[in-house]
Amino acid sequence: MGTEIAKRRAAEAALKHVVDGQIIGLGSGTTMKHFIDLLSKKIERKKLNVEVAASSFQVYLEAARKGLKVLDVYSLSEVDLTIDGADEIDSSLNLLKGGGAALTREKILAEMSKKYVIIADYTKLVTRIGEKHPIPIEILPFGWKGTIKRLSRFGRVEVRNCKGGKVGPVITDNGNLIVDLHLEREYVEIEKIERRIKNIVGVVEVGIFSGLADIAYIGYEDHVEILNHNR
Ligand code: 5RP
């Protein structure tokens, strides 16, 4: 089953949240590319006055290329809606994010949003956060070895390296490092582990997003499943 079709279906379903006059936060990643394409077409078709706020340089470039009005996030304290992708989603709408290294800015936009909507293909569904991926964490370069030592209490920590285009570690849009934490045991109360990691000095943000998402559209090749808090 093609995940690109599934991603596009999820993105299409989330378009219904877009109305005239909104400021929309945009998460990052490949599913968001579909959303931005569809959003630009909806704006054009319906002659909407919609502005966007980008969570990364990647998505800023994508939005600008599609002719969207991109606002400077420094000038905003709130957005009407944020649409975002995810690496893992559980049935309570907890998320794992950071596959694209944009987790801090994505979490800031999620917190600034009146509504936070997730779009993802069916491969992202999990029964437990951390089931398929290590936990991405953004850390300051200053004192990074000490931060990693403290994070190692929870499991093995790897500094994420670039897979191409640059040699060496991934540097985020904030000028920080990304590490991936392989938890050494399963945690049921994922929000507790989110808080404990966030409490470590040197940690900028953690890719566990517990209790933030309002609704998620999960795309399959032939349908879309809706996850919300009424289930
Ligand atoms: C970036 C993210 C992305 O939302 C996440 O990695 C999903 O990406 P994709 O839509 O490419 O699967 O958290 O930091």
The pTM score is: 0.96
Q: Do both 9 and 61 map to the same domain?
A: yes
Q: Do both 91 and 39 map to the same domain?
A: yes
pLDDT for 217 equals 98
**Mind giving me the DSSP string for 96-115?**
E--TTS-HHHHHHHHHHBS-
Q: Do both 175 and 86 map to the same domain?
A: no
Please tell me the number of Cα atoms within 13 Å of 130 on its side-chain side: 24
How far is ligand 1, taken at its centre, from the CA of residue 27, in Å? 8
Whether residue 25 has pLDDT greater than 70: yes
Q: Which two tokens stand for residue 94?
A: 């907890």
The residue whose C-alpha atom lies closest to atom 5 belonging to ligand 1 is 86
pLDDT for 2 equals 75
Q: Do both 16 and 68 map to the same domain?
A: yes
H helices present in the chain, as ranges: 3-14, 30-46, 57-65, 103-112, 144-151, 190-198
Whether residue 187 has pLDDT greater than 90: no
Ligand 1 atom showing the smallest separation from residue 207 Cα: 13
Average pLDDT of the segment spanning 174-198: 94
Q: Do both 107 and 142 map to the same domain?
A: no
Average pLDDT of the segment spanning 181-206: 94
pLDDT for 231 equals 58
Q: Do both 148 and 222 map to the same domain?
A: no
Residues with CB under 6 A from ligand 1: 27-31, 84-87, 97-103, 106
3-state SS, residue 54: strand
Q: Do both 142 and 173 map to the same domain?
A: yes
CATH number at residue 217: 3.40.50.1360
Percent of residues, the chain, with pLDDT higher than 70: 99
Whether residue 1 has pLDDT greater than 70: no
Q: Do both 183 and 223 map to the same domain?
A: no
Q: 185 or 222: whose pLDDT is higher? A: 222
Q: Which residues 6+ apart lie within 8 Å of 202 measured at CB?
A: 139, 140, 142, 143, 144, 146, 147, 150
Q: Which domain holds residue 173?
A: 135-206
The pLDDT tens digits of the residues spanning 88-132 come to 999 999 999 999 999 999 999 999 999 999 999 999 999 999 999
Whether residue 194 has pLDDT greater than 80: yes
Q: Do both 108 and 140 map to the same domain?
A: no
pLDDT for 119 equals 98
CATH number at residue 199: 3.30.70.260
Q: Which two tokens stand for residue 32?
A: 């968001």
How far is ligand 1, taken at its centre, from the CA of residue 97, in Å? 6
Beta bridge partners of 89: 95, 125
Q: Do both 95 and 195 map to the same domain?
A: no
How far is ligand 1, taken at its centre, from the CA of residue 25, in Å? 14
Distance CA 196, CA 100 (A): 23
Whether residue 35 has pLDDT greater than 60: yes
Domains contained in the chain, number: 2
Q: Do both 199 and 218 map to the same domain?
A: no
Q: Do both 60 and 38 map to the same domain?
A: yes
